[in-house]
Chain A
């Protein structure tokens, strides 16, 4: 079955440091890829997405590029802030046929803590 392998955490950084969280996805075909974020006390929310090879998703200074050859979707941010402290989940979902949108396979999550 489909699987998502996500960089283990937790990750602790100082403010303005560079962030990378690795994610690779194994599936039949080429799924859409997502990063969801969960801030303390809040529900999961979509951070960014990419639906095909070489697509780059970006939002709030975060970026991730869909690499077809490695089925990777690593999350990056050039300068993290304290407010970026959260749990980050990589996820993939079939985009074939239009009937499986929303059926996502998630990684285990990476806890990010940013110190001032």
Chain B
């Protein structure tokens, strides 16, 4: 069983919809990362969280340490948000990655 589980695996949304991607983890962590990988392959770090909530533009990330759960929300989704979103956690000196959520936003 993977230390980090994401859901859904695939997500298709209409432009403008509110999107939520979930991440659950089973190890003790010092930080959780949300990454975005574009179809061209480049990876961008969106957020690093250790508690609470962070917002950047239309993106919001939350984490509940007690429940070992994080969510990534996208408001007013746009086709350019189409990408794979990856949840990763740092546990001691190791990183564990989810398998990613492939998001397609249709105009």
- A pairs with B: no
Measuring CB to CB, which residues of chain B are less than 8 angstroms from any residue of chain A? Answer: none
